[in-house]
Amino acid sequence: MAHRIILVALTAIFLFAPGGQAQSSYVKGAAEGWAKGVVGGGNVAAVFPTTPAQLQQYLSDSVARVIVLKQTIDFTTTGSTVTATGCAPWGTGATCQEAINANNWCNTLAPSAAAPVSVSYNSAGTNGLTVASSKTLVGIGKTGVIKGKGLNIKGANNVIIQNIAITDINPRYVWGGDAITILGSSLVWIDHVTTARIGRMHIVLGYDPSPSVTISNSFIDGRTSYDTTCTGANGNGYHYWGIYFAGTGDKVTMKGNYIYHTQGRSPKVEGNTILHFVNNYVYDNTGHAFEGADSSHSAGTIVEGNVFQNVKSLFATPITGSYFTAPDTTTNAQCSSALGRACVVNAFGSTGGLLPSATTSFFSKFSGYPSVSAVAASQVAASVTASAGNTL
């Protein structure tokens, strides 16, 4: 679906964290939810990388930085072509996604699902760029693109990634690379980011706690030439490996995101993740939106004010974890103990699957949660498709 570009005034506005540190004027707006108060690299002088080596250095060094991306940084030219034996769990057709045998993954499958095949991929994509603490990475217009390699935010504090695209990371191969990985990090804000043609996960949180993450106004573009149903002809396949919150102690706000043309993990919520899923637009999903595989049922998600359109099933079964699904205005008043206001009813069109009961048992885990606004679901589809992704 085409995006309309919204023109945003470039007037420099200084935003301040509680401690008084200034946020860069290159950053538009401020984080809501768990990452409220993040300032990234602060208001230091900006740097403008033009090569893969420069971008890698600026992101990974110990200096607080504002990194402004004005062009495509292409990592597909930096890696080597690796040819190895992988597997074809979903078939060997031209549009079937295959898998690299990372961590011996192919050998853990049943023999009938692990037909060996030769895989050929770019080595740059399999490991993301290290992002250290106190970094702001922001694109100008639609020109800021990282091609062929993702971002690895591990053990970092105070990170802003805004208005960039991350694309073309070995899209044919599972384990070919993730667009954004967040692991054991705090105060991380992912905003107005487009991810497209990714081998594995578009966004993934790992097993180390990340207690303050906000993902907002981003475009998860699942269109692909290779997928697990082998229907990717002309780039119209549906990506399965969307968004995965796997961690322990993760607290995530997802607001205003456009999750398009997927078939699962939109998102997958595991462990004891606490998620506020508000005013997102999930459109054209041939499998399911929410998924979980956590038998402890300790994850908790508030789902409010979203639009689910043309989604085959809202939940993968069996449903695991706890969900408050904002079923009606009377029940939604209970959200005041978690959000400081009533929840907003969701909207559905051509969407299957039953809503689980609206449990409030996990609301105490929202203690200290910053106020997050919500609009009526009737406003979401138009506003999200107009503004999500690198549209600033």
pLDDT one digit per residue (tens) for the chain, 392 residues: 444 333 233 333 334 444 447 899 999 999 999 999 999 999 999 999 999 999 999 999 999 999 999 999 999 999 999 999 999 999 999 999 999 999 999 999 988 778 899 999 999 999 999 999 999 999 999 999 999 999 999 999 999 999 999 999 999 999 999 999 999 999 999 999 999 999 999 999 999 999 999 999 999 999 999 999 999 999 999 999 999 999 889 999 999 999 999 999 999 999 999 999 999 999 999 999 999 876 666 899 999 999 999 999 999 988 888 999 999 999 999 999 999 999 999 999 999 998 888 899 999 999 999 999 999 999 999 999 999 999 99
Shared domain for 238 and 372, answered yes or no, is yes
Can you tell me the distance from the alpha carbon of 28 to that of 138, in angstroms, rounded to the nearest whole number?
9
Shared domain for 244 and 377, answered yes or no, is yes
Q: What is the DSSP letter of 41?
A: T
Shared domain for 364 and 268, answered yes or no, is yes
Shared domain for 206 and 166, answered yes or no, is yes
In a domain, 14, yes or no: no
Q: What angle do CA 279, 283, 284 make, to 5 degrees?
A: 165
pTM of this prediction? 0.94
Report H helices in the chain.
52-60, 329-332, 336-339, 380-387
In a domain, 197, yes or no: yes
Which domain range does residue 285 map to? 33-78+125-387
Predicted local confidence at residue 22, as pLDDT: 86
Shared domain for 156 and 109, answered yes or no, is no
Provide the CATH number for the domain around residue 304: 2.160.20.10
In a domain, 18, yes or no: no
CB 125 within 8 A of CB 54: no
Shared domain for 104 and 145, answered yes or no, is no
- Domain end, chosen from 116, 137, 164, is at 116
| Residue 152: how many other CB atoms lie within 10 Å | 20
Shared domain for 110 and 41, answered yes or no, is no
The residues near 360 (Cβ < 8 Å, ≥ 6 apart) are: 324, 334, 337, 338
Q: What does the block give as tokens for 79?
A: 């890696």
Q: Please give the backbone phi and psi of residue 50, each rounded to the nearest 5 degrees, phi first.
A: -125, -5
Predicted local confidence at residue 110, as pLDDT: 81
In a domain, 220, yes or no: yes
Shared domain for 194 and 274, answered yes or no, is yes
Shared domain for 96 and 219, answered yes or no, is no
The type of residue at 40 is G
CB 264 within 8 A of CB 290: no
Environment class of residue 171 by beta-carbon count within 10 Å: exposed (0-12), middle (13-18) or buried (19+)?
A: buried
Q: What are the residue numbers of the active site?
A: 265
Predicted local confidence at residue 139, as pLDDT: 98
In a domain, 155, yes or no: yes
Can you tell me the distance from the alpha carbon of 128 to that of 108, in angstroms, rounded to the nearest whole number?
25
- Is the alpha carbon torsion for 332, 281, 262, 192 positive or negative? negative
> Quick one: the chain helix, strand, coil %, rounded to 5?
15, 35, 50
Can you tell me which residue has the tokens 């740059």?
124
Predicted local confidence at residue 118, as pLDDT: 97
Can you tell me the distance from the alpha carbon of 314 to that of 295, in angstroms, rounded to the nearest whole number?
19
Q: What does the block give as tokens for 258?
A: 């456009």
Q: How many domains does the chain have?
A: 2
Predicted local confidence at residue 21, as pLDDT: 75
CB 22 within 8 A of CB 43: yes
Can you tell me the distance from the alpha carbon of 54 to that of 47, in angstroms, rounded to the nearest whole number?
10
Can you tell me the distance from the alpha carbon of 179 to that of 165, in angstroms, rounded to the nearest whole number?
9
In a domain, 137, yes or no: yes
In a domain, 9, yes or no: no
Number of C-alpha atoms within 13 angstroms, CB side, residue 56? 11
Shared domain for 355 and 243, answered yes or no, is yes
Closest by CA to 320, choosing from 301, 335, 343, 339, is 301
- Domain end, chosen from 116, 139, 163, is at 116
Shared domain for 143 and 104, answered yes or no, is no
Predicted local confidence at residue 74, as pLDDT: 98
Shared domain for 172 and 106, answered yes or no, is no
CA 104 remoteness from chain centre: 26
In a domain, 6, yes or no: no
Predicted local confidence at residue 114, as pLDDT: 83
